[in-house]
Amino acid sequence: MIKCVVWDIDNTLLTGVYLESGDQLPEPDPELLAVVRELAGRGILNALASRNPPAAARYVAKVTGADFAAEECGWGSKAEAITRIAAELSLAPDAIAFVDDDMLERAEVAAALPDVLVLTPEDAVEAPGWPAFSPAVITDEARRRGELYARRRQRQAEAAAFGGSRDEFLRHVGTRISIALATEADLPRLHELSVRTHQLNSGGEEVTESELAGYLEAARVAVYTVRLADNFGDDGLVGAAILTGNEAGGDAVGLVSGAFGVYQVPLVMMSCRALGRGALDALLAWLCRAAAAAGATELQIPCLVTERNVPMRLALAAAGLRAEPGSIGPDGRAIFARSLTGALPRLADWVTVP
């Protein structure tokens, strides 16, 4: 699936060359502007990469009224600009399409970044009809994605100017993390997260709405959602985890009965928008606490070990979970575990729990 389209400006989004147009700045291309809007409505991000001064990007944002999740203006190569955009938005190259009218620019990007889908403006007009640009489910979070990324840039600018620790910054921007039991209304978004999250996903597999509904109804299983907001805006439902107990034991929040022994977490997933904002740490801390409160003595999180989900492994390590070295199974998973006796990971005071 394409998650972000990176647009050239001159003779692509604009019907002319920004720097050569004197007082009469070029108008946006109406066909491509319609594509930008259509994709934004589907939750696909738009970004700009242009050999122009930053004022060109501001002009394009103004005349199109569109939210651009990232802007790279300068004289360097487009491949480098796309690499920086991918890093800024935490996207893999195969989730990015690049549209440019200039054949040489397209060739340079295609050679340097073979996983990026390289398109002419004519291709881009057709793209909304292609499956890679047609997510099956479009949630409220998806429709607001471009806007949320624009806010994220403001947050990052503030973070760069802020001198204190990460926790002091999270407090400074009014971070609010709310963990709750999932309801049926959350299922489309949870399914979407299972498809879209890679860096912060322990399972690495799509989970269908009916499978998720099965977890909601099952005994001794709790599905927790995480919602995230701060003074820059409300990100909505950004993550979730499934906690399964087993036979007998005390009650836990949302668990019919717990087990004396091992609790498992078959899935933890979190939007990369939440990276660096304490949401995954909060969820892992809550899973430890909820399982411990139910009488469990150990928490186990099987995690697919890939290059892409290193951020998930970092969070597991930070929460005190460890796997047996060399224990990656034939399914590519290792079981990360920690004892629940003794001190548990703490929850920040801006986290509310069920």
Partner 1 sequence: MTAESAVAGELRTMLADLTGRPEVAHIGPDTVLFGEGVGLDSLAGTMLLRQIERRYGVDVAAEDLNLDALETLGTLASFITKRV
Task: Kindly list the residues in this chain that would bind partner 1 in the complex (CB under 8 A).
Answer: 159-160, 162-167, 199-200, 275-276, 278, 280-281, 305, 307, 310-315, 317-318, 322-323, 325-328, 334, 336
Residue 116 or 315: which CB sits closer to partner 1? Answer: 315
- Shortest Cβ distance from residue 315 to partner 1 (Å)? 4
Residues 6+ apart with CB under 8 A from 45: 3, 4, 5, 69, 70, 89, 145, 146, 149
Residue 206 or 324: which CB sits closer to partner 1? Answer: 324
- Shortest Cβ distance from residue 260 to partner 1 (Å)? 26
d(CA 122, CA 345): 53
Residue 65 or 164: which CB sits closer to partner 1? Answer: 164
Locate all alpha helices (DSSP H) within the chain, ordered by sequence: 30-41, 54-64, 78-88, 103-112, 121-126, 140-143, 145-161, 166-172, 187-196, 209-217, 279-293, 310-318
- Shortest Cβ distance from residue 285 to partner 1 (Å)? 11
- Shortest Cβ distance from residue 198 to partner 1 (Å)? 12
Residue 19 or 318: which CB sits closer to partner 1? Answer: 318
SS3 109: helix
User: For the residues of 189-222, what is the DSSP string, one character each?
Assistant: HHHHHHHH--TTBSS-S---HHHHHHHHHSTTEE
Residues 6+ apart with CB under 8 A from 51: 10, 73, 74, 75, 78
- Shortest Cβ distance from residue 347 to partner 1 (Å)? 13
Residue 55 or 310: which CB sits closer to partner 1? Answer: 310
Closest by CA position to 274, among listed 250, 251, 241, 297: 241
- Shortest Cβ distance from residue 68 to partner 1 (Å)? 22
Residue 22 or 326: which CB sits closer to partner 1? Answer: 326
- The amino acid occupying position 313 is R
